[in-house]
Structure 1
Amino acid sequence: MVTSMEVSACSQPVVVNTGAGGQDGLLVFVNQQLVAVLVLMNSNHDLDTTLDGKWFLEAGFGPCQDWNKGQIFATQDEAMTWVRTQIVRDNMEAY
C-alpha cells in the first residue's frame, strides 16, 4: 500500500488571474500530470483578512477535483499533503 509520503508531488510557481488581478499561485503536479492550481490568499484581493497567507484550491483535477468545496490550507505544506492524500485515496478506491 502506498502512503501519502511516498507520492511524489512537485509544484511550480505561477501568477493566476483570478478575476481580481494576478495572485501568486502554484501548479501542482503528480507523475508529471497537473492535479491542482493553488492560489495564495492576500488582503489585497480578499476582504477577509483572516485568510491572508493561506492557500486556496482554485482548481483541482482528477482525484483533486474538490475545488468547489472551498478547500483552504494554512500552509503550502498542508496543501501538498492534502494533494498526496487525495492521490493515495484515489488509488485505493481503484482496487
Structure 2
Amino acid sequence: MTFIDFRPIVVDTGTSDREGCLALVNGQLVAVLTRLDPGIHSEPGHAGQWHVEVAFPSHVKPPRDTLFADLDQCRTWLAARYG
C-alpha cells in the first residue's frame, strides 16, 4: 500500500510564494510544492494553486505547467507515479 503525506514548510523561493509542503511517499521525500501567492499570480487559474518546484528522483517530472487546485489533486498525481 502506498502512503502519501504532506508536511507544511516555508520555502525561500525569492518571491512571496513561500507557503510550501514536502510530499512524501512511504516516508521518502519525492517533491517540494509551493502555493502560488494570489498577490503576484494574476493569470486565470493560477492564484492559490500548488506548483511542483522539484520532484525526486529528477527523472520524475510533472507535466509541464501542471498546477494542482489542492493537495488531493497532487496526491492523485503522486499515487499514479509512485504507487
Q: Classify the TM-score, shorter chain.
A: 0.7 to 0.9
Structure 2, unaligned runs of 5 or more: none
Report the AA paired with residue 41 of structure 1. Answer: L
Cα distance change, pair 45–17 in 1 and its aligned pair in 2 (3 A)? farther
With structure 2 as the length reference, what TM-score do the two structures score?
A: 0.82
Partner of 2:33: 38
Structure 1, unaligned runs of 5 or more: 1-5, 89-95
What is the Cα-based RMSD across aligned positions, in Å?
Answer: 2.2
Question: Percent identity at matched positions?
Answer: 29
Whether the aligned pair in 2 keeps the contact of 1:63 and 1:87 (CA below 8 Å) is no
Bigger Rg, structure 1 or 2: 1
- Partner of residue 83 from structure 1, selected from 68, 78, 82: 78
Report the AA paired with residue 8 of structure 2. Answer: P
Partner of 1:3: none
> Which consecutive segments of 4 or more residues in structure 1 shift more than 3 A?
none
With structure 1 as the length reference, what TM-score do the two structures score?
A: 0.73
Q: Distance in 2 between matches of 1:78 and 1:68?
A: 13
How many residues in Structure 1 have an aligned counterpart in Structure 2?
A: 83
Q: Which moved more, 1:48-57 or 1:64-73?
A: 64-73
Cα distance change, pair 64–77 in 1 and its aligned pair in 2 (3 A)? farther
